Homo-oligomer: A and B are copies of this chain.
């Protein structure tokens, strides 16, 4: 093992990913190269490489002569998300059941264990990151370089949405989170059994649960929505 486990640059990438996913860096926020380079103890050229990579992964958007912006979330983004998610989730999960290796299954189980710990602790960020990691591993199992890029992008925004709409006090949501965790166990069983059809069906069910949670916020039970985020609203920070 290395002394610092991994290079500063790698740490920088991973930390920025984490901050975007947990919305410590909010969607639409602009990043200052000089500031970030000082924070992570590297100079600007390598930091710029990092930002370019994160742009390729969909975490940030680059604007010429105006720097990097944390990928914004607009109402159009949400609509597109709802269209693409079930298809990609079902497809990748199916392939995961067909191709998963024993080593990957071990990794998935470890991840699920950590995920349940995070739920108990009640830490929203850890829970969201744990969930992201779980589905990311399923993406690795699918082992299809053409589908992975789309899955990764979906997971970024799915995680951010999950952070936005997290509410530890609402009992119904706590129960749904428990149900989601149970579904994760089912994922493991079906993937281990190689049951592709059932795994794909579970992926759709898992998505439906998540969708219901999200929609319960967008359309609250019987409350009028405090507008300003309604369809047609402008995005967080207009660009160009």
Chain A contact residues: helix, strand, loop or mixed = helix
A85→B56 CA distance, assembly (Å): 21
On chain B, the residues within 8 Å of A157 by CB distance are 146
Interface status of A147 (Cβ within 8 A of chain B): yes
Number of A residues whose C-beta is below 8 Å from B? 30
On chain B, the residues within 8 Å of A45 by CB distance are 45, 48
Copy number in this complex?
Answer: 2
Nearest residue (CB) in B for A152 is: B149
On chain B, the residues within 8 Å of A84 by CB distance are 91, 144, 146-147
Q: By the criterion CB–CB under 8 Å, are A81 and B153 in contact?
A: no
A79 to chain B, nearest CB (A): 9
Q: By the criterion CB–CB under 8 Å, are A80 and B145 in contact?
A: yes
A150 to chain B, nearest CB (A): 4
On chain B, the residues within 8 Å of A53 by CB distance are 52, 55-56
Interface status of A5 (Cβ within 8 A of chain B): no
What are 30 A-B interface contacts by the 8 Å CB criterion? A45-B48, A48-B49, A49-B49, A49-B52, A52-B52, A52-B53, A52-B56, A53-B56, A55-B56, A56-B56, A56-B57, A58-B149, A76-B143, A77-B145, A80-B143, A80-B144, A80-B145, A80-B147, A83-B95, A83-B144, A84-B144, A84-B147, A87-B87, A87-B91, A88-B146, A145-B153, A146-B153, A147-B150, A149-B149, A150-B150
